[in-house]
Amino acid sequence: MTAYAFSLPVRVYYQDTDAGGVVFHANYLSFLERARTEWLRHLGFDLREMAERHDVLFIVREANVRYRRPALLDDLLDVTVKVERLGRAQFTLGQDVLRSQEELVCASINVACVSCGSFKPLRLPQRLYASLATVLEHEDQPKEQV
Amino acid sequence: MTAYAFSLPVRVYYQDTDAGGVVFHANYLSFLERARTEWLRHLGFDLREMAERHDVLFIVREANVRYRRPALLDDLLDVTVKVERLGRAQFTLGQDVLRSQEELVCASINVACVSCGSFKPLRLPQRLYASLATVLEHEDQPKEQV
Amino acid sequence: MTAYAFSLPVRVYYQDTDAGGVVFHANYLSFLERARTEWLRHLGFDLREMAERHDVLFIVREANVRYRRPALLDDLLDVTVKVERLGRAQFTLGQDVLRSQEELVCASINVACVSCGSFKPLRLPQRLYASLATVLEHEDQPKEQV
Amino acid sequence: MTAYAFSLPVRVYYQDTDAGGVVFHANYLSFLERARTEWLRHLGFDLREMAERHDVLFIVREANVRYRRPALLDDLLDVTVKVERLGRAQFTLGQDVLRSQEELVCASINVACVSCGSFKPLRLPQRLYASLATVLEHEDQPKEQV
């Protein structure tokens, strides 16, 4: 696993399911958030440190999610993160939820930076922007070069 | 409030918020689900009865959500439901989360019917289809006729 | 309903249930928190105002919960709040989850006041202490006097 | 890590926290459930298989939880599982939530087996009972023998 093809394993517990016998649809957004958080940590950015030291909060501005197949109790899922678009104050990630290569859920998540207390928009911190630009550049390369 | 302009009040509790001080983004999908459920109940359809007697489960196939402004602890929100499109086996709802007329979140939710155990697609039950068709028709009317 | 016998109606949605077909056990604690919050509001105390103006946060120090019967999808529950013990810096509430008089869950919840940022223990605000003392006194009275 | 001293690492994400800046108290019960599930898997028991093949559902009958110190965003916690008492139809686990040896939450969780559809009490499956008895026996041994 490289920073250019990040994936977090997520196990499905009773707490994630509903009486329909499958993962409750809103809970996939929590799975996606876990993967984004670990991906950022992998890139060198801890969310608590971003908030406490740099007054930066990441907020979801848009979530577009397609549910193809349901995940079940005890499933071991992979949740991926890929940079789709990068702006100065926001970026869009492509995120999939997979079960052994099978795509269960695919999502596009737009994230922006805001100031912690005021929720005023902020530019991405320079170090983060540079890091995401590098990731995006490498994703664009043919796979054998990654 | 009529069936043609349904709205459910939802209070924000600590359980709905996160350390950013606002409602966690995935939890709005739970608010939307509460409103859809009460709207269906208002139209005469209880989800447990639909599952137990008619083997019908409603599943979310697609959720497109835009987050405009954050909701805060103790806010009293209104969550609306409106039929946007109606098909034989699925329908799309427009749902907003409002705080005193201010639009915080707007969403488009595509819902399909499946069989409980197998998750195989089902046509909407005839009575439900007729009911949604009536709602959709009235929504299309100018407001003064509603 | 008086302040001395508070009860909040809570509907069970898919989001509250798990693949066992019943409400997931941790979610009852969220139901209890909703009832405590509305009970405090009923007594004149809003949690956001307590935090923002008075730097007071309520934290759960101990939760003892007995699960007797499961709640199901679509159930309309009543969640009660009763003062059991009142101290200068903490209080204990008796809370039940009922379905038409039938006791599903009964809990004893010990709550303390702390300072928002530091989590240092605080005495209960005087007005709150007085209010809870009044509630407790009336609960102790024979029922016909309430 | 042996079966006799099981511990599951759990990371704290925004989804686990509330506007107080710490993990919402009900969410620790979800952390505890994740640890119990992985511990049972470690002992050879998968919950989905238990339900589907053996008609066995584990339900929480009692949860007694003491909250000592709050967990924060990005904390990496350890959630432990220990058998405290073993009966024919139920067992009690001691579970702690630790942050680098510091005890944040300690809980005692009583779990019973029931039949999936009917929720009627069941004896523990023989293989599970034997396994828990072995764990309990080894826990009682002085540490150097484990």
Q: How far, CA to CA in Å, does A110 sit from each of A144, B34, B95, C35? A: 28, 25, 19, 35
Pairing of strands A56-67, A76-86: unpaired
Partner residue facing A25 (CB), from B20, B60, B70: B60
How many percent of chain B have pLDDT more than 70?
Answer: 92
Q: Which residue of B has its CA nearest to C11?
A: B34
Minimal Cα–Cα distance from A3 to chain B, Å?
25
SS3 C64: strand
pLDDT given at position A3: 46
Which of B74, B76, B79, B116 to mutate: most C Cβ within 10 Å?
Answer: B74
How many angstroms from the chain centroid is the CA of residue B78? 12
Beta carbons of D59 and C116 less than 8 Å apart:
no
Which residues in chain D are closer than 8 Å to A38, comparing Cβ atoms?
A: 11
Beta carbons of D13 and A37 less than 8 Å apart:
yes
Q: C92-135, pLDDT tens digit by residue?
A: 999 999 999 999 999 999 999 999 989 999 999 999 999 999 99
Indicate whether D115 pLDDT > 90: yes
* Alpha-carbon span A56 to A35, nearest angstrom: 19
Beta carbons of D62 and C65 less than 8 Å apart:
yes
Tell me which chains share at least 3 CB pairs under 8 Å with chain D: A, B, C
pLDDT given at position C87: 97
Q: What is the mean pLDDT of residues D102-112?
A: 98
Indicate the burial class of A46 (C-beta count within 10 angstroms; 0-12, 13-18, 19 or more). Answer: middle
Least confident of B134-138, D31-35, D66-70: B134-138
How is domain C6-140 classified at the CATH fold level? Thiol Ester Dehydrase; Chain A (3.10.129)
Beta carbons of A59 and B66 less than 8 Å apart:
no
Which of C13, C23, C31, C53 to mutate: most B Cβ within 10 Å?
Answer: C13
What one-letter code names the amino acid at D105? Answer: V
Band of residue D89 on the pLDDT scale cut at 50, 70, 90 = very high
Q: What is the DSSP letter of A105?
A: E
Give residues with Cβ within 8 angstroms of C60, minimum separation 6. C109, C110, C111, D25, D67
Q: What is the mean pLDDT of residues D55-72?
A: 97
pLDDT given at position D143: 52
Tell me which chains share at least 3 CB pairs under 8 Å with chain C: A, B, D
Q: C75-88, pLDDT tens digit by residue?
A: 999 999 999 999 99
Q: Which residue of C has its CA nearest to B58?
A: C14
* Alpha-carbon span B48 to B59, nearest angstrom: 14
pLDDT given at position C3: 46
Indicate whether B15 pLDDT > 80: yes
Ranges of each domain in chain B: 3-141
Band of residue D141 on the pLDDT scale cut at 50, 70, 90 = low
Tokens of A116: 């912690």
* Alpha-carbon span B50 to B52, nearest angstrom: 6
Strand partners, D82: D94
Q: How many residue pairs bridge chain B and chain C with CB atoms within 8 Å of each other? A: 42
Question: Is 3.10.129.10 the CATH number for A6-141?
Answer: yes
Which of C18, C25, C29, C74 to mutate: most A Cβ within 10 Å?
Answer: C18
Which numeric CATH code is attached to B3-141?
Answer: 3.10.129.10
Cα maximum dimension of chain A? 46
Indicate whether A146 pLDDT > 50: no
Q: C37-74, pLDDT tens digit by residue?
A: 999 999 999 999 999 999 999 999 999 999 999 999 99
Q: Which residue of B has its CA nearest to D27?
A: B15
Which residues in chain B are closer than 8 Å to C51, comparing Cβ atoms?
A: 73
Beta carbons of B19 and D24 less than 8 Å apart:
no
Q: What is the mean pLDDT of residues A108-136?
A: 96
pLDDT given at position C141: 62
Indicate whether C1 pLDDT > 50: no
3-state secondary structure A49-65: HHHHHHCEEEEEEEEEE
Strand partners, C93: C83, C109
pLDDT given at position A117: 83
Question: Is 1.10.8.50 the CATH number for D3-139?
Answer: no
Tokens of C77: 């529950």
Q: Please report the DSSP string for A33-93 in residue order.
A: HHHHHHHHHHHT--HHHHHHHH-EEEEEEEEEEEE-S--BTT-EEEEEEEEEEE-SSEEEE
SS3 B115: strand
ipTM of the complex: 0.93
Beta carbons of B26 and A26 less than 8 Å apart:
yes
Query: How many Cβ atoms are within 10 Å of C59's Cβ, its own excluded?
Result: 17
Band of residue A10 on the pLDDT scale cut at 50, 70, 90 = very high
Sign of the dihedral defined by the CA atoms of residues C68, C71, C77, C83, in that order: positive
* Alpha-carbon span A94 to A134, nearest angstrom: 16
Chain B residues with CB within 8 Å of chain C CB: 11, 13-15, 30, 33-34, 37-38, 46-49, 51, 72-74
Q: What is the mean pLDDT of residues B105-116?
A: 97
Chain B residues with CB within 8 Å of chain A CB: 19-22, 25-27, 29-30, 33, 51, 57, 59-67, 70, 116-117, 119
pLDDT given at position C143: 52
Strand partners, D38: none
Strand partners, D76: D11
Indicate whether A2 pLDDT > 60: no
Q: Nearest 5 degrees, angle CA D67-CA D70-CA D75?
A: 130
Q: C68-78, pLDDT tens digit by residue?
A: 999 999 999 99
Q: A38-62, pLDDT tens digit by residue?
A: 999 999 999 999 999 999 999 999 9
pLDDT given at position D117: 83
- What number of CA atoms fall less than 13 Å from residue C124's CA on the CB side? 18
SS3 C49: helix
